[in-house]
Amino acid sequence: MAWTAPTIRAPGYVVTAADWNTDIVDNLDYLKSQIDLITDEHIAGLAMIMDRD
């Protein structure tokens, strides 16, 4: 899943469930997946350091 630039809407626009899912839910899922990647890399790096001893 990739980042989707949030849609710019006019005042008074009623946000639909599809809009919300694309702009909010999917992008939050993307950000969470990026945090998981960084965390996994950090843990792998710590494991390498600990193995040196």
Distance CA 2, CA 11 (A): 27
Domain residue spans in the chain? 20-53
Report in angstroms the alpha-carbon separations of 13 from 8, 19, 40: 10, 11, 40
Question: What confidence category does residue 14 fall into, taking pLDDT thresholds of 50, 70 and 90?
Answer: very high
pLDDT single digits (tens) 28-52:
999 998 888 888 777 777 666 767 6
DSSP state of 7: P
**What's the token pair of residue 2?**
């990739």
Q: What pLDDT, on a 0 to 100 scale, did the predictor assign at position 53?
A: 57
pLDDT single digits (tens) 20-29:
998 899 999 9
Q: What pLDDT, on a 0 to 100 scale, did the predictor assign at position 25?
A: 92
Distance CA 26, CA 20 (A): 9
Distance CA 40, CA 8 (A): 34
